[in-house]
Amino acid sequence: MDIAWGDPACNVATADRMIRENPGSDLYVLPEMWTTGFATQPEGIAESDSSESLEWMKDTADRTGAAIAGSIAVRCQDGSYRNRFYFVRPGGLVDFYDKHHLFTYSGEHHRYTAGERKVIVEWKGIRFRMIVCYDLRFPGWARNAEEYDAMLCVASWPTPRVGAWRTLLKARAIENQCYVLGVNRVGTDPACQYCGGTAFVDPYGEATECKDSEASTLNAEIDMDALAAFREKFPVLKDRDLI
């Protein structure tokens, strides 16, 4: 998506249109802070933890029969701000992961509270590990202890560092012997420019990507039989460091 700065209604309309133009998926993944853009100063831009955007995610999951995932800048009832990655399934079932590694380079840690929980959700027989943007740089946090099959990473990863984004997506897929779905935005905000690089990476590190700098969709399929066969033939996860 090209995210309109600080305009949840506009961004919900964009996401709704893109999903309607791509029917039939089991899971739709949106970028980091997809309703507002990446806001390090959340006052006046963050939504409540019962926002209209979250309600749209619930309604869309019910309408499509699919899960909807993406992060939102949230102001919680206790007054704290969270970069909250929602995973919404039909029937109003909502899981969430709060970004653990806040992006200190931009000052995100000054206003947001880091999450401490590692979160894995199951949908359609696939176990998904949820991470957000800067988390991608920390392999220990993302390490697969044979707990998940695919990693979801939503991001607002700017153009100057997109080479690292592409490399890290592949590294996380290879070392964790999993699929990686990396969803990044395009466009600009008051601080940065974004060229995308949204990618679907298989457990061998082979990537299929969206076109750079274009708002677009990428459709891909997780092959659980192929993943199970690869893990059985080459069981590298069983030799991981137990630390």
CB 200 within 8 A of CB 29: no
What is the number of other CB atoms lying within 10 angstroms of the CB of residue 54?
21
Q: How far apart are CA 169 and CA 172, in angstroms?
A: 5
Single out the catalytic residue among 99, 108, 170, 178. Answer: 99
Single out the catalytic residue among 32, 58, 153, 210. Answer: 32
Single out the catalytic residue among 47, 58, 133, 178. Answer: 133
Nearest Cα residue to 117 out of 133, 105, 135: 135
Q: Please report where in the chains the tokens 């905000």 appear, as a residue.
A: 189
**Cβ-proximal residues to 41 (8 Å cutoff; 6+ apart), any chain:** 111
**Is 99 in the active site?**
yes
**Is 58 in the active site?**
no
**Which amino acid, 227?**
L
Q: How far apart are CA 57 and CA 200, in angstroms?
A: 22
**Cβ-proximal residues to 215 (8 Å cutoff; 6+ apart), any chain:** 1, 2, 14, 18, 186, 187
**Is 10 in the active site?**
no
Q: Which residues are identified as catalytic? A: 32, 99, 133
